[in-house]
């Protein structure tokens, strides 16, 4: 794994205990938009088996447990999966520690879901990411994505603004463009570089069309969401 993506994995492992408290602004002003996305996700059920990539602490795992006979929740962080298990106490969820680029299911499934993972994939790895999703999907299967648009609701600290010597060149060599790398700070002050690519859904639809996917995406800032299917 690239050094930058490995740092991102470490970040989410270390952030696990504070993820739920810090992932949304106080009072969650975007709860209504999230509810619309979750409604669309629910309407994709019932399915026999759903895979959730980057399942995290379980923001969407409970919904999947309700609409799928079986859920496989994948994440590179055992720490978030432990919190996921405490939060989503459903007998039909299997949790697996693994990397989306390397892990494959025993059998392809009808539904693959990822919330707030695509924005952590550098553009250079975009095709490889969708190749992985395609290999997990059964014939007639569908992927569902929800993530951040290029909104102005909050700001990230870009890595280039850090001013570390040669930072920009270093970042490019590690497999991500300069503007794709941001710095996150944990409550104890430790800082990590992670990838953040905010897709406009129209631009994302175009990029996916070139890879042979068709999209039905809805924009409701600060999020977009919807289905992605391989073109026959």
Ligand X SMILES: C[S@@+](CC[C@H](N)C(=O)[O-])C[C@H]1O[C@@H](n2cnc3c(N)ncnc32)[C@H](O)[C@@H]1O
Q: Can you give the binding site for ligand X, defined by CB under 6 A?
A: 8-9, 12, 53-56, 59-60, 74-77, 80, 99-101, 115-117, 120
Coil/strand/helix, residue 194: strand
- CB nearer to ligand X: give 12 or 192: 12
Sequence-distant (6+) residues with CB within 8 A of 194 are: 4, 7, 8, 11, 120, 181, 182, 183, 184
Q: How far is the CB of 231 from ligand X (least distance, A)?
A: 25
Q: Which is nearer to ligand X, 37 or 171 (CB)?
A: 37
Question: Which is nearer to ligand X, 59 or 149 (by Cβ)?
Answer: 59
Q: Tokens representing 169?
A: 């060149």
CB of 15 to ligand X, least distance (A): 8
**For residue 163, what are the contacts with CB-CB under 8 A and spacing of at least 6?**
none
In the complex, the smallest distance separating the C-beta of residue 158 from ligand X, rounded to whole angstroms, is 18
Nearest distance from C-beta of residue 24 to ligand X, angstroms? 9
28 token code pair:
């969650």
Residue number, 101 or 138, with CB nearest to ligand X: 101
What is the Cα–Cα distance from 196 to 180, expressed in whole angstroms? 5
């Amino acid at each position: 794994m690239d050094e930058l993506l490995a740092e991102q994995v470490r970040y989410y492992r270390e952030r696990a205990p504070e993820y739920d408290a810090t992932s949304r602004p106080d009072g969650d002003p975007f709860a209504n938009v999230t509810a619309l996305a979750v409604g669309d996700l629910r309407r994709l059920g019932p399915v026999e088996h759903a895979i959730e990539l980057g399942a995290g602490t379980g923001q969407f795992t409970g919904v999947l447990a309700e609409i799928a006979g079986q859920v496989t929740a994948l994440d590179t962080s055992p720490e978030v999966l432990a919190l996921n298990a405490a939060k989503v106490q459903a007998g039909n969820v299997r949790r697996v520690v693994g990397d989306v680029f390397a892990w494959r299911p025993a059998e392809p499934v009808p539904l693959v879901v990822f919330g707030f993972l695509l924005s952590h994939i550098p553009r250079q790895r975009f095709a490889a990411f969708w190749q992985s999703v395609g290999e997990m999907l059964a014939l007639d299967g569908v992927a569902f994505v929800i993530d951040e648009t290029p909104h102005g609701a909050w700001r990230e600290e870009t890595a280039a603004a850090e001013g570390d010597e040669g930072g920009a060149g270093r970042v490019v060599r590690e497999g991500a463009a300069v503007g794709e790398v941001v710095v996150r700070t944990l409550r104890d002050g430790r800082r990590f570089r992670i990838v953040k690519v905010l897709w406009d859904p129209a631009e994302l639809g175009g990029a996916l069309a070139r890879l042979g996917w068709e999209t039905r995406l809805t924009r409701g800032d600060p999020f977009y969401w919807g289905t992605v299917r391989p073109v026959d």
